[in-house]
Every structure is written in C-alpha cells, then in structure tokens.
Amino acid sequence: MWWPLRSRRDRDRSSAGLRKLADACGVRLGCAVSARGLDADPAYRETLASAFNLVTPENALKFGPLRPTPDTFSFGEADAIVAFAQEQRMEVRGHTLLWHKMNPSWLKPENFTRGELAAVLERHIKRVVTHYKGVIRTWDVVNEAIGGTGTLRPSPWLEGLGPEYVTQAFRWAHEADPGARLFYNDYGADGLNRKSDAIHAFLEELVAENVPIHGVGLQMHVTLGSEPAKKDVAANMARFAELGLEVQVTEMDVACIGRPTRKMLRRQARVYEEMLEAVLGCDSATAFIVWGLTDAHSWIPYTFPGKGWPLLFDEEYQPKPAYWAVRDALASETRG
C-alpha cells in the first residue's frame, strides 16, 4: 500500500525506524546537508537524525566556500555540521577536496607557477584532511575529473598541474591521514556506458600504480525515465569491486520532469528501491546517500529548471513513496 493511505501514526513510527534498519543492515544511509538547513528548522534536524546514520556537507567542504582568500580556511559551516553529526552519533563523509567547479576567483592557474599551484593544492588537502582527522574517515578526493569523452576534463588543476594532479591529490590526502578511505567520485557513470568504462580504466591504472585510492563514488543523479538498469548498475559495481575498490552511491536523487503524478512517484520509488538493492547485493558497496533531505532542499530545480521533486521527503517533511520503498528494501534485507 502506498502513502498517503497510511495513517500519520504509522508514518511517524516507521520514520524513526529507518535509521535503525540501516544500522541493522550494516549500510551507511546518508544525506547531504547544509549548515543553514540545520540552523533554520527543528524539523530538519529531527528528520535527518531519525532517518539517516551519515551526513555529508553539500557545499561547506568545497574549495570555494572553504577558501575565500588564499590565506583563509573558513571551517565554520563544516564544523557546525560535524558537531551536529557527533551529537547525533552520525558518521560524516567528506565532499570534496578537489573539483573543477565552485573554486574561488583567486584560484586561477595564470596567477601561479606550476610549483606554486602544487603547493596551494598540497597545503589545502593536508590542512583540511588534518583538521578532520579521526572524524571524517572517508573523503571524495577527486570529483568529476573525467568528462563525457572519457578524458580528463578542463579544470584549473589540469591546466596548472597537468594530468598528474589526480595522483598527487590522493598521495597528499593519504599522507595527511593514512587511515582515511579515499574516493574518486563522478556522475553519469552509474550503469555501463562509455564514461563508466573510461573511469574503470582510469582507476584500474591508479590501482596498478599503487596510488592510495580505496573507493569509487557513483553519484546517481538520475532523471525519471532515463535511469540506469539495475542489472547494469550491479555489473558496474561488481567490476569496480574486482579492482579491490569500495563502492558507494554518493549523491542519489531522481528528478521528475514537472510536478509528479502518483504514478511518477511510484516509479520514482521503484528506482530508489532498485538502486538500494544493487548496493545491498554488492559486498563491496557500503553506502547509499541521497543529495538533500526534502524536495524543498534540492539543488535540482535551481540547476535544471522544470525538473524537481527528487528526494525521499516532500516539502512538508512527509515521507514519499520513495521513502517507503527504501524502508521496505532495508526491512527485507534485515529479514535476510
């Protein structure tokens, strides 16, 4: 039976159970958050802490927000998220040490020699990883480095440091915290396609060169109707696992085109369920993370006008069919 036919009492009881079910399955069930969201609304904090056992700062750890000037590290927002997580005994996943987007305006390759830019990146990575050592144990080190054609995409890092910036970034993160799990993270590479082939080949090389990389993040930003097939996602996870890598679904959302009908919500629920089943079915897959708490907190409508309603909770913090599907998938896993 689908929401909204369930009573409010059922919903409330079950909502508190989601996190417990995830714990019982040994899966990290995570959510991207902002410090503003945490500050603004008690319902945000309550829903977050009752449904998830992991948080990841949506933007607070990105280079731009952290580094307003070359000499400043503004840890305030990320520290607030970490403090909340510790209070609620939730894990924190670090996103991301390096990306081609959301960089500060002072970070222009032409402002630096190659050696200077390398020093900027090394200092950034080591300072940030050290600041959260022992607290953030998993990091996206490199985000979205591969473009649609399967080669390294243009970025200040590629332009200023050449292709070896990827390897260097992993080594510097590892030096700062040898115990941290270090990930490569990307979108559009969830199933089997040209991009996931290219990422697989790229990571295979890194592993062969003994670069300290431990995992791959499949972002799983999908649009309803063009989501990858479960069997392709499972096969993709399996081939990364064969490289000895851990796999995590790191940023899942399922965007609807136009305000969703009940049928669309059911279909969205099915996509969440299938992707979670792929995680639960893969021994090397350890996390399932959604990119925002409610449909009111999603980046999708701002970035892709006309699309939206992609998450587990609606604008009023009510669980959607997708929420129940996630819960059912966890419950059937617990029953074994």
For ligand XIL, which is the closer residue by CB, 73 or 187? 187
Q: Does 294 bind ligand XIL (CB under 6 A)?
A: no
Shortest reach from residue 89's CB to ligand XIL, in Å: 25
Task: Check binding of 248 to ligand XIL (CB under 6 A).
Answer: no
Binding of ligand XIL by 56 (CB under 6 A)? no
Residue 144 designated active-site: yes
Q: At 275, is the secondary structure helix, strand, or coil?
A: helix
Q: What is the dihedral of CA 34, 40, 44, 48, to 10 degrees?
A: 40
274 labelled catalytic = no
- C-alpha 331: how far from its chain's center? 23
Cα-trace Rg, the chain? 19
> Residue 168, interface with ligand XIL (CB under 6 A)?
no
Binding ligand XIL (rule: CB under 6 A), the pick from 73, 75, 299, 304 is 299
Q: What is the nearest approach in angstroms of ligand XIL to the Cβ of residue 313?
A: 16
Q: Which is nearer to ligand XIL, 37 or 212 (CB)?
A: 37
What secondary structure does DSSP assign to 138-158, as a single string?
Answer: EEEEEES-B-TTSSBPP-HHH
CB 63 within 8 A of CB 95: no
Residue 177 makes contact with ligand XIL by CB under 6 A = no
How many CB atoms sit inside 10 A of residue 226's CB?
A: 8
Judged by CB under 6 A, which of 58, 177, 273, 333 binds ligand XIL?
58
Binding ligand XIL by CB under 6 A: which of 15, 155, 196, 219? 219
Residues 234, 185: Cα–Cα separation, whole Å: 17
Strand partners, 216: 184, 247
Tokens encoding 58:
């949506």
Q: In angstroms, what is the minimal distance from the CB of 302 to ligand XIL?
A: 7
Q: Which of 143, 155, 268, 294 is the binder for ligand XIL (CB under 6 A)?
A: 143
Host H or E run for residue 170 = helix 165-176
Tokens of 37: 């969201």
Nearest residue to the partner ligand XIL, using Cβ: 299
**Per-residue x/- track, 85-124, ligand XIL (CB under 6 A):** ----------------------------------------
Catalytic residue among 58, 251, 273, 274: 251
User: Does residue 53 belong to the site contacting ligand XIL (CB under 6 A)?
Assistant: no
Distance separating alpha carbons of residues 99 and 113, to the nearest angstrom: 20
**C-alpha distances in angstroms, 233 versus 69, 191, 219, 240?**
41, 4, 12, 11
Cβ proximity to ligand XIL: between 147 and 281 the closer is 147
Q: Other C-beta atoms within 10 Å of 13: how many?
A: 10
* Site residues, ligand XIL (CB under 6 A): 58-59, 143, 187, 219, 251, 299
- Which residues have a catalytic role annotated? 144, 251
